[in-house]
Amino acid sequence: LAHLATERAKKNMYKLFAIICLLTNGTMECTPYSDSSAMVYKDLQSCEREAQERFYGMSTIFEAYAIPFDKMVVGCEEIEEIN
Protein backbone atom coordinates (compact mmCIF):
# COMPACT_ATOMS: atom_id res chain seq x y z
CA LEU A 1 0.00 0.00 0.00
CA ALA A 2 2.81 2.42 0.76
CA HIS A 3 4.05 1.92 -2.79
CA LEU A 4 0.68 2.93 -4.23
CA ALA A 5 0.46 6.00 -2.02
CA THR A 6 3.83 7.36 -3.19
CA GLU A 7 3.48 6.50 -6.87
CA ARG A 8 3.13 9.58 -9.06
CA ALA A 9 1.02 9.87 -12.18
CA LYS A 10 3.00 10.37 -15.37
CA LYS A 11 1.59 12.17 -18.39
CA ASN A 12 3.15 12.47 -21.79
CA MET A 13 3.68 16.09 -22.73
CA TYR A 14 5.53 17.77 -25.59
CA LYS A 15 7.99 20.62 -26.03
CA LEU A 16 9.41 22.39 -29.06
CA PHE A 17 12.92 22.03 -30.39
CA ALA A 18 14.77 23.39 -33.40
CA ILE A 19 17.87 22.34 -35.29
CA ILE A 20 19.38 24.93 -37.60
CA CYS A 21 22.24 24.15 -39.97
CA LEU A 22 24.32 27.01 -41.36
CA LEU A 23 27.26 26.94 -43.71
CA THR A 24 30.07 28.70 -41.84
CA ASN A 25 33.49 29.13 -43.48
CA GLY A 26 32.79 26.19 -45.79
CA THR A 27 31.72 23.89 -42.94
CA MET A 28 28.18 22.84 -42.16
CA GLU A 29 27.36 23.52 -38.52
CA CYS A 30 24.10 22.23 -37.05
CA THR A 31 23.01 23.58 -33.69
CA PRO A 32 20.13 22.26 -31.57
CA TYR A 33 17.95 24.80 -29.77
CA SER A 34 15.38 24.51 -27.01
CA ASP A 35 12.30 26.70 -27.01
CA SER A 36 13.17 29.87 -25.12
CA SER A 37 9.60 30.20 -23.82
CA ALA A 38 9.82 26.66 -22.36
CA MET A 39 6.17 26.00 -23.19
CA VAL A 40 4.88 22.50 -22.53
CA TYR A 41 2.02 21.21 -24.65
CA LYS A 42 -0.55 18.71 -23.42
CA ASP A 43 -0.96 17.04 -26.79
CA LEU A 44 1.12 16.46 -29.90
CA GLN A 45 -1.31 18.26 -32.21
CA SER A 46 -1.02 21.56 -30.29
CA CYS A 47 2.75 21.29 -30.26
CA GLU A 48 2.92 20.52 -33.98
CA ARG A 49 0.72 23.54 -34.80
CA GLU A 50 3.10 25.79 -32.87
CA ALA A 51 6.14 24.11 -34.47
CA GLN A 52 4.73 24.85 -37.93
CA GLU A 53 4.14 28.51 -37.03
CA ARG A 54 7.64 28.82 -35.60
CA PHE A 55 9.20 27.22 -38.70
CA TYR A 56 7.49 29.61 -41.09
CA GLY A 57 8.16 32.60 -38.84
CA MET A 58 11.86 31.80 -38.50
CA SER A 59 12.35 30.99 -42.19
CA THR A 60 10.66 34.29 -43.15
CA ILE A 61 13.05 36.21 -40.87
CA PHE A 62 16.08 34.30 -42.18
CA GLU A 63 15.07 35.10 -45.76
CA ALA A 64 14.33 38.78 -44.98
CA TYR A 65 17.81 39.23 -43.48
CA ALA A 66 19.49 37.03 -46.10
CA ILE A 67 20.72 34.55 -43.49
CA PRO A 68 21.76 31.49 -45.50
CA PHE A 69 20.59 28.33 -43.82
CA ASP A 70 20.99 24.89 -45.29
CA LYS A 71 18.53 23.07 -43.07
CA MET A 72 15.99 24.01 -40.43
CA VAL A 73 13.96 21.50 -38.44
CA VAL A 74 11.37 22.63 -35.92
CA GLY A 75 9.44 19.90 -34.18
CA CYS A 76 8.16 18.39 -30.98
CA GLU A 77 9.74 15.98 -28.58
CA GLU A 78 7.95 13.94 -25.97
CA ILE A 79 8.69 14.56 -22.32
CA GLU A 80 7.27 13.06 -19.16
CA GLU A 81 5.71 15.36 -16.65
CA ILE A 82 5.25 14.01 -13.15
CA ASN A 83 2.30 15.27 -11.13
* Distance separating alpha carbons of residues 2 and 50, to the nearest angstrom: 41
Confidence tier at 8 by pLDDT (50, 70, 90): low
Specify the DSSP element, H or E, that contains 35. Answer: none
Mean pLDDT of the chain: 86
**What is the reported pTM?**
0.76
**Is 30:15 a contact under the CB 8 Å cutoff?**
no
pLDDT at 57 over 60: yes
pLDDT score for 5 = 43
pLDDT score for 3 = 46
* Distance separating alpha carbons of residues 33 and 55, to the nearest angstrom: 13
For 58-73, the pLDDT digits (tens) are 999 999 999 888 999 9
pLDDT at 45 over 50: yes
Q: Give whole-number Cα distances, 30 to 24, 52, 61, 73, in Å.
A: 10, 20, 18, 10
